[in-house]
């Protein structure tokens, strides 16, 4: 399935207008088991399954569902750890007494600590007190990822660790998230960008493409093909009439021809989707006939 269309479909809203799609999004999130993953690992896994839409409301619906599922998994994991601890304590209490007639020979410290509850073997990975904290941090992490890896931003203007921690104060039900947790998250995003599929606009607007030799470009096409997101096209099978262009049509073509040819060339150069390549070639051919 096309990841662009998946993201657009799942994020469609509002819930009152599209209740079925909202249920689909909820069930989609239930497919993810985030147990044992760090926050950034869970977010990467979730975002790798679709292309994140550009509209804030669409992102809001996706991140809200992600946060709800993540917090649900955290609660199940925490309850499982507590149940394991309780069972361990009960087992220790039900064990038969030691076969030792001389109680005085038993070390006093050993007697005192005999029924102490065992330590948790697994500590919860995530520190959220509610789903809202995970939701806010999801947005904050996406903003951090864009800020740290935007090639157009100057280094001195990028978000620092101190700023990231300050921006997320009080989001955990009025309390702060652990500094160690936020520091680890910041370093993970800084060292490993959360990469998403590129739009066609990202390819066309890529700087320096016109100055690169075509043979060099062609050598890198295959490696870039998986990053290309297919755009939507309207039907192109309508009847066409060959007419003589007037003065207005001529001026309009001259004003848009350069950008149009560049756009179609970008599709032809970067896409390995046969349908898109055929459309691009058809467009370039028609432009050459005018």
Most confident of 91-105, 112-126, 270-284: 270-284
Catalytic residue, chosen from 41, 55, 193, 249, is 55
Q: What is the mean pLDDT of residues 184-212?
A: 66
pLDDT > 70: percent of the chain: 63
DSSP 43: H
* pLDDT for the residue 2: 83
* pLDDT for the residue 19: 94
- 113 pLDDT above the threshold of 60: no
Among 87-91, 101-105, 155-159, where is mean pLDDT lowest?
Answer: 101-105
* pLDDT for the residue 214: 45
Indicate the helix (H) or strand (E) that contains 12. none
* pLDDT for the residue 153: 84
The Cα–Cα gap between 2 and 132 comes to 30
Name which of 169, 171, 146 is nearest 159 in CA terms: 146
Active site residue 55: yes
Helix (H, G, I), strand (E, B) or coil at 252: helix
DSSP 175: B
* Torsion angles phi and psi, residue 198, rounded to 5: -85, 145
Q: What is the mean pLDDT of residues 70-99?
A: 65
* Torsion angles phi and psi, residue 228, rounded to 5: -90, 125
Tokens 């300050």 belong to which residue? 166
Q: Please report which confidence band the pLDDT of residue 86 belongs to, taking 50, 70 and 90 as the band edges.
A: low
Q: Give the CA distances from residue 200 to residues 6, 82, 203, in Å, rounded to whole numbers and listed in that order.
A: 17, 50, 5
* pLDDT for the residue 95: 62
Q: What is the mean pLDDT of residues 204-219?
A: 45
What average pLDDT does the structure give for the chain?
A: 74
CA dihedral sign, ordered 201, 58, 192, 222: negative
DSSP 116: P
- 47 pLDDT above the threshold of 80: yes
- 31 pLDDT above the threshold of 90: yes
* pLDDT for the residue 121: 44
Q: What is the mean pLDDT of residues 92-120?
A: 50
Q: What is the mean pLDDT of residues 80-95?
A: 57
């Amino acid at each position: 399935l096309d990841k662009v269309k998946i993201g657009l479909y799942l994020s469609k809203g509002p819930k009152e207008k599209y209740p079925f799609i909202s249920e689909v999004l909820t069930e989609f999130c239930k497919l993810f088991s985030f147990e044992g993953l760090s926050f950034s690992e869970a977010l990467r896994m979730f975002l790798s399954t679709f292309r994140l839409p550009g509209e804030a409301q669409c992102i809001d619906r996706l991140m809200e569902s992600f946060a709800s599922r993540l917090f649900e998994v955290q609660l199940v994991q925490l309850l499982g750890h507590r149940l394991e601890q309780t069972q361990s304590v009960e087992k220790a209490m039900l064990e038969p007494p030691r076969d030792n007639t001389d109680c005085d020979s038993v070390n006093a410290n050993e007697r005192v600590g005999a029924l102490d509850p065992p330590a948790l073997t697994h500590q919860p990975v995530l520190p959220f007190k509610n789903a809202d904290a995970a939701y806010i941090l999801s947005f904050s992490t996406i903003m951090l990822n864009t800020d740290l890896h935007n090639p157009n931003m100057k280094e001195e203007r990028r978000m620092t660790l101190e700023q990231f921690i300050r921006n997320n104060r009080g989001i955990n039900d009025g309390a702060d998230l652990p500094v160690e947790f936020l520091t680890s998250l910041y370093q993970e995003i800084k060292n490993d960008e959360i990469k998403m599929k590129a739009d066609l606009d990202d390819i066309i607007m890529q700087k320096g493409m016109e100055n690169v030799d075509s043979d060099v470009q062609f050598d890198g096409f295959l490696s870039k093909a998986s990053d290309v997101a297919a755009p939507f096209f309207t039907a192109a099978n309508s009847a066409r009439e060959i007419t003589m262009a007037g003065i207005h049509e001529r001026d309009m073509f001259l004003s848009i021809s350069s950008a149009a040819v560049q756009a179609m060339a970008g599709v032809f150069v970067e896409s390995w989707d046969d349908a898109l390549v055929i459309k691009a070639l058809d467009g370039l051919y028609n432009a050459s006939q005018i």
